[in-house]
Amino acid sequence: MDLSDLYQEIIIDHSRHPRHHGACAGETHGARAENPTCGDEVAVHLRVSPEGRVEEATFTGQGCALSQASASLLTTKVRGRPAAEALATAAQVQRLFTGEPLPPEQVEALGDLQALQGAAQFPQRVKCVTLAWHALAEALGRTEAGGGGPEAT
């Protein structure tokens, strides 16, 4: 199996069997993003500890395989991490998917998220892949500003 086959398999697996899909018990922060052009919509739900750690991350919504796989991978990646680290990952993902080069060690640290980087070759698909990451950044950005609860959209 070559790398592109593995990446394709990761995307298919996460889109057909999304991880952490549904409500978030004790949600403290959340945000919703949508792409009206294609109908994708994703809401990211978080429970962030008082110390700033993402204790729980889930998502709801619907859309194409790329948007759902990306949201599933997001929840898996940010669970248990400090909110600041999750925000840094979101920034790296945004850069990667818009074709901006990242140092090899940062790309490597993204793990399975690398499976989605092929979307950078298709500008119309970048929005699908980055939708959940925009919602994450919005939800955690509000955390830093002292707001953004479950009602955030």
Mean pLDDT score of the chain: 85
3-state DSSP call for residue 91?
helix
CATH of the domain at 135: 3.90.1010.10
Torsion, Cα of 91, 44, 24, 50 (10° steps): 40
Residue 8 lies in a domain: yes
Residue 50 lies in a domain: yes
What is the tens place of the pLDDT at every residue in 99-143?
788 888 988 888 888 888 777 778 788 888 899 999 999 999 854
What is the tens place of the pLDDT at every residue in 6-27?
458 888 898 899 999 999 999 9
* Domain region containing 60: 3-18+27-145
Contacting residues for 120 by C-beta, under 8 A, at least 6 apart: 96, 97, 98, 99, 126
Residue 33 lies in a domain: yes
Residue 151 lies in a domain: no
